[in-house]
Structure 1
Amino acid sequence: MRMLLRGAAALAAVVTVASLTSGAAAQPRTGKPAGTVQISQAAQIPPGVTAAGVAVFDREAGTFTEQVNASAQFRSASIVKLLLVLDFLWDRGPDYTIPAADRARLEPMLRGSDDNAANHYWSTYGGPAIIKRMTDRPAVGLRDTAAPPAGYEGFWGYTAISARDTVAIYRYILEKAPAPVRDFIMDNLRRSTRCSATDHFDQHFGVAGAFDRPWAVKQGWSGKFAEGTCGPDTASSASRAEPAAPAPRGAAPRAAAGVNLTRPALHTTGTVGPDDRSIVAVLTLHQDGTSYGKAYTDLGVLTRSLNVPGAKRPAGTWFGTWGELVSVRKGPSTGDDRMTRLPAGVEVLVGCQIRGEEVSVPPYTNDWWAYLPQYGGYISSIYISSPDNRLPNVPECGSPRP
């Protein structure tokens, strides 16, 4: 395995949202109507994030607790898959029975963000016409959503969407959709798999990493990210551009109506807390050349900074890592089964630490292993960005976890 230079322990300083809002004064959180422009008091945007659209809606109080550029349009990446499912299930009553062949596509599309399934529904049911149908349905209440630009009609991931429209989609699913539709979608989002079905990207970033369950998530990513793979046996890099059809010959993706189609995008959306109390939508763009692990970490920092009523924060300490596709193992030994691999340079939550097999990566050696509760496994602490072998302020595990 080729090793990267050991990273610094501290994350870069974050930038408060108030400094990124054209000098507008911060406003207090009030029970304003959905869509009212409101500047977050809490959100922290790392410097590597070039654009962010944020909305957090507290369903119990009926108000937003966070809004940052909530109406700004981003290319949707896989968030559009929520609209593909809703369009397919629309008016399928009275029992909303889903044929077995469609269930076999829809479940991995919702749980594992399967692109092949999205290609099928996009091409079978009219592509941009799906977006037109959904935006024409008043019950959903979409205001910023638009079909892919001319020349890119085959790219479902180039659908434009905003954070506030994402909240509207979840509110429709939870509060207005027929019960069978609501239950099918939310049950699958609660079963989100760590590794995506098509390209094996680790998709438990943002909401899935910032908060303990109960949560339900639909994530999105688009662009050329390096070292983004996960799973016990995957070792190659990948990128995602969400194509369902080739781009026009000789053409490069271009901005349309203010929507950037080129910079790496990473989005986290879903619900958090008992009874899906809070709806969270965080849409982000990153600098060209950003690694998947860096974008993953920056999105996590931003998501953890938000005021999300009903959320429970996971116990442990966050650390940066170094190394390329570091293995997470069932026990503190390289002989234990590999569970998955980490995106290069990603930040991880450490619950406890234990002595195990000594690992050597010259000039470093270390026999401490860190337990990662969100993965249910261990990594050698040699790959954690900390000056000492034993991590500071992290308790000992006592004995290897099963």
Structure 2
Amino acid sequence: MRVRRSFLGVVGVVGVVGVLVWLVATLFGTGSAQAAQPVRAPSGGAAVDVPAGVTAGVAVFDRQTGTFTEQLNTRTQFRSASVVKLLIALDHLWNRGPDYTLPAADRARFDSMLRSSDDASASSYWSQNGGGAIVDRMVSRLGLTDTSGPSAGYPGSWGYTALSAADTVRIYRYLLDGAPAPVRTLVMGDLRQSTRCGTDGFDQRFGIPASFERPWAVKQGWSGFGDSGGCTGTTSAASGEVRDVADARAADVDLTQRALHTTGTVGAGDRSIVAVFTLQPTSTSFGAAYTNLNRLVRSLNVPGGARAAGAWFGTWGTDVRVRADTTTSSTVLTRLPAGVEVSVSCQKQGQRVEVPPYVNEWWAYLPLYGGYITNIYVRSPDNELPGVPLC
């Protein structure tokens, strides 16, 4: 396991202590992976925590009351990254009634695209069904106002489709309240089974699934992070993403900053629809972007959502392994994105681990991942984490 030197200053327990978190980080030197100090932005009478340097578009719609509880830059266009797979999926199903069944091979491809954000599947449908014409059709069918296909220079780059938070809410409202029942069951069923890791090796448990207990259903999006997505430690380039940054600057939407988006539903009966789009500086690591987005989502008023339990701490190191038990020989469940904040619900003593100059026999349980990491890689002044109960 590769590690970097770090002071082990506490980086934070949730929410109202945001400013103290930043102060402690400043005093104890938590390293480049620590997210920037949050700043406040007006949001429909509430306050959304938008970390400094982050551009965000946010919409939270309460289906029970028919009102928005959060709105921030709702009509700002972002490059959609993999969120456009919702439109690709709906278009593919559009004329397949009345039962909307798919042949076995097609169904496997469809499920992989939505559950594990498989880019090859999306590219196959994009080519098969007319490329940008897919977006044009869905704009007309759903009455989308801020959505447009990739610019002329990038016809094959479905991830460069322009999409807003407001239009994303419209897409989910159609899925939940307007789509034929078999379509709703198929698409939402896949989103409820979103896998921990995408097929490209990126960790998908950010934003909604990191911040709320089930039930939730999500379609995530990410773009521009290269090969730094956690999970397996290796990734492949997104097939819908273009790497030519110089040309990308001339496109209709920002293609240079790093994009990380979380969209979906939260609560029993899919009570709330949540759409959060972010653009982050090109120097932002995936772990830091992940942390920024999680902090933003945790600040939102999401009716029906049960907040994820646990205290939030920063981590350090690269490819930190989450294990099934408190020994280095136990099964590796996944790897953390470098420098990400994690929620710790409890801790217990286990195998003594040495990473000079540190030695620690305490292990932290991460409910989001269903496993343990050695406390050596948790930013804390003591081996035993303060305020965290025993498992």
Tell me if TM exceeds 0.5.
yes
Instruction: Determine the structure 2 residue equivalent to 1:296.
Output: 290
User: How far is the alpha carbon of 1:128 from its aligned partner?
Assistant: 0.5
| Partner SS for 2:388 | coil
Instruction: Determine the structure 1 residue equivalent to 2:14.
Output: none
How much identity, in percent, do the aligned residues show? 60
- Aligned counterparts of 2:124 and 2:236: Cα–Cα separation in 1: 21
Amino acid paired to 1:121: Y
User: How far is the alpha carbon of 1:39 from its aligned partner?
Assistant: 3.8
- Aligned counterparts of 2:275 and 2:77: Cα–Cα separation in 1: 13
Instruction: Determine the structure 2 residue equivalent to 1:110.
Output: 114
Instruction: Determine the structure 2 residue equivalent to 1:380.
Output: 374
Q: Which has the higher helix share?
A: 2
1:256 is aligned to 2:251: yes
Instruction: Determine the structure 1 residue equivalent to 2:68.
Output: 64
1:320 is aligned to 2:314: yes
User: How far is the alpha carbon of 1:237 from its aligned partner?
Assistant: 5.6
- Aligned counterparts of 1:201 and 1:280: Cα–Cα separation in 2: 21
1:185 is aligned to 2:187: yes
**1:224-258 Cα shifts (integer Å, max 9, x gaps):** 3453130xxx2336554723xx789x96212434x
1:281 is aligned to 2:275: yes
- Aligned counterparts of 2:236 and 2:390: Cα–Cα separation in 1: 36
- Aligned counterparts of 2:230 and 2:236: Cα–Cα separation in 1: 7
Change in Cα spacing, 1:101 to 1:223, as seen in structure 2 (3 Å) is: same
User: How far is the alpha carbon of 1:262 from its aligned partner?
Assistant: 1.1
Instruction: Determine the structure 2 residue equivalent to 1:52.
Output: 56
Amino acid paired to 1:215: W
Instruction: Determine the structure 1 residue equivalent to 2:358.
Output: 364
- Aligned counterparts of 1:387 and 1:40: Cα–Cα separation in 2: 38
**1:200-221 Cα shifts (integer Å, max 9, x gaps):** 1000100010000000000000
Amino acid paired to 2:258: P
Amino acid paired to 1:252: D
Contact preservation (8 Å) 2:349, 2:361: yes
The correspondence for 1:268, drawn from 248, 262, 271, is 262
Contact preservation (8 Å) 2:172, 2:273: yes
Instruction: Determine the structure 1 residue equivalent to 2:82.
Output: 78
What runs of 5+ residues in structure 1 fail to find an aligned partner? Answer: 19-37, 398-402
Instruction: Determine the structure 2 residue equivalent to 1:389.
Output: 383
Instruction: Determine the structure 1 residue equivalent to 2:15.
Output: none
Change in Cα spacing, 1:299 to 1:75, as seen in structure 2 (3 Å) is: same
1:242 is aligned to 2:266: no
Change in Cα spacing, 1:253 to 1:288, as seen in structure 2 (3 Å) is: same
- Aligned counterparts of 2:235 and 2:97: Cα–Cα separation in 1: 43
User: How far is the alpha carbon of 1:92 from its aligned partner?
Assistant: 1.3
User: How far is the alpha carbon of 1:373 from its aligned partner?
Assistant: 1.1
- Aligned counterparts of 1:277 and 1:331: Cα–Cα separation in 2: 35
| Partner SS for 2:248 | coil
- Aligned counterparts of 1:227 and 1:247: Cα–Cα separation in 2: 15
The correspondence for 2:159, drawn from 157, 160, 165, is 157
Instruction: Determine the structure 2 residue equivalent to 1:212.
Output: 213
User: How far is the alpha carbon of 1:269 from its aligned partner?
Assistant: 0.2
- Aligned counterparts of 1:255 and 1:142: Cα–Cα separation in 2: 24
Contact preservation (8 Å) 1:224, 1:238: no
Change in Cα spacing, 1:152 to 1:247, as seen in structure 2 (3 Å) is: farther
Instruction: Determine the structure 2 residue equivalent to 1:221.
Output: 222
Contact preservation (8 Å) 1:220, 1:266: yes
- Aligned counterparts of 1:135 and 1:77: Cα–Cα separation in 2: 17
Instruction: Determine the structure 1 residue equivalent to 2:28.
Output: none
| Partner SS for 2:359 | strand
RMSD over aligned Cα, in angstroms? 1.7
| Partner SS for 2:350 | strand
- Aligned counterparts of 1:247 and 1:118: Cα–Cα separation in 2: 18
Amino acid paired to 1:202: D
**1:290-310 Cα shifts (integer Å, max 9, x gaps):** 110000010000001000000
User: How far is the alpha carbon of 1:136 from its aligned partner?
Assistant: 1.3
- Aligned counterparts of 2:324 and 2:159: Cα–Cα separation in 1: 36
**1:294-337 Cα shifts (integer Å, max 9, x gaps):** 00010000001000000001211011100101000011110111
- Aligned counterparts of 1:295 and 1:144: Cα–Cα separation in 2: 25
Instruction: Determine the structure 1 residue equivalent to 2:6.
Output: 6
| Partner SS for 1:227 | coil
Amino acid paired to 2:118: D
- Aligned counterparts of 1:343 and 1:52: Cα–Cα separation in 2: 21
User: How far is the alpha carbon of 1:94 from its aligned partner?
Assistant: 1.3
- Aligned counterparts of 2:201 and 2:226: Cα–Cα separation in 1: 12
The correspondence for 1:196, drawn from 180, 185, 198, is 198
- Aligned counterparts of 1:70 and 1:241: Cα–Cα separation in 2: 28
